[in-house]
């Protein structure tokens, strides 16, 4: 009988560059998976009134970056394990929004969970404290994260080809999936299994677990 797949946790990885090739700072994993996740896409149109017409025509003016909002719950009451303040976990999350002197801006972030994957910047974090211990240490809080998409110039050129190997993708491992077969399908060459193993820090590339989430780097970033 197969062992149950490990529960995937929402994960946020920080990067120093817009190409997402330079990991920076610690990886943050949610204590509890999101209670709500919403996605927003917006296009702009300009109204042009032609002579002799009763209504203006709408002309496409361009698209705005996609936006995602994620609702998280942090709990230190002991219901989920050892009780204790949520301060360190919350501070590690808020650190992703802080200005970095070396890059003159906050981190870029790659957020993923299951089949959901989003790369951009954290534009807002709204924290509401719900419960405190006797010393005033917060034990429970809700966090609403707002992320805005950030694409490199190369990726913008490739967005008309959604299956392009020039874009970051994620892969949810199914039964009998092999790393070389995934590499052949995504990159057209099974030899790229080594790049996938390195990108995902796999100690045993031949032992993929059903339900495991793999990060597929763009072709240009694969050694």
pLDDT digits over 24-50, tens only?
878 999 988 998 899 998 888 777 665
148-185 burial: b if 16+ Cβ within 10 Å, else e: bebbbeebeebeeeeeebebbeebebeeebebbebbee
* pLDDT score, position 154: 62
* pLDDT score, position 163: 46
Contacts of 219 (CB under 8 A, 6+ apart): 165, 166, 187
Looking only at the bridges linking them, the beta strands covering 57-63 and 43-48 are antiparallel
The SS3 of residue 146 is strand
Query: Confidence class of residue 52 from pLDDT cuts 50, 70 and 90?
Result: low
Quick one: what percent of the chain has pLDDT higher than 90?
A: 31
How many CB atoms are located within 10 Å of the residue 98 CB?
A: 11
List domains and CATH numbers for the chain: 9-41+66-151 (2.40.30), 161-223 (3.10.350.10)
Mean pLDDT of the chain: 82
Q: Is the pLDDT of residue 4 over 50?
A: no
Quick one: what percent of the chain has pLDDT higher than 70?
A: 83
The SS3 of residue 68 is strand
């Amino acid at each position: 009988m197969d062992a149950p797949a490990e529960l995937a946790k929402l994960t946020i990885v920080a990067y120093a560059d817009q190409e997402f090739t330079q990991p920076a700072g610690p990886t943050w994993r949610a204590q509890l998976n999101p209670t709500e996740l919403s996605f927003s896409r917006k296009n702009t149109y300009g109204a042009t009134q032609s002579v002799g017409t009763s209504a203006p025509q709408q002309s496409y003016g361009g698209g705005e970056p996609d936006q995602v909002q994620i609702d998280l719950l942090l709990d230190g009451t002991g219901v989920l394990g050892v009780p204790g303040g949520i301060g360190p976990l919350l501070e590690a999350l808020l650190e992703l929004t802080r200005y970095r002197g070396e890059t003159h801006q906050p981190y870029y972030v790659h957020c993923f969970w299951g089949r959901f994957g989003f790369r951009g910047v954290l534009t807002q974090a709204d924290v509401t404290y719900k419960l405190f211990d006797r010393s005033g240490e917060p034990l429970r809080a809700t966090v609403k994260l707002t992320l805005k998409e950030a694409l490199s110039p190369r990726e913008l050129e490739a967005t008309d080809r959604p299956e392009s190997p020039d874009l970051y993708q994620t892969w949810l491992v199914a039964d009998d999936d092999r790393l070389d077969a995934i590499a052949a399908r995504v990159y057209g060459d099974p030899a790229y299994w080594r790049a996938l193993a390195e990108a995902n820090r796999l100690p045993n590339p031949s032992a993929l677990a059903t339900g495991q989430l793999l990060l597929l780097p763009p072709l240009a970033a694969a050694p």
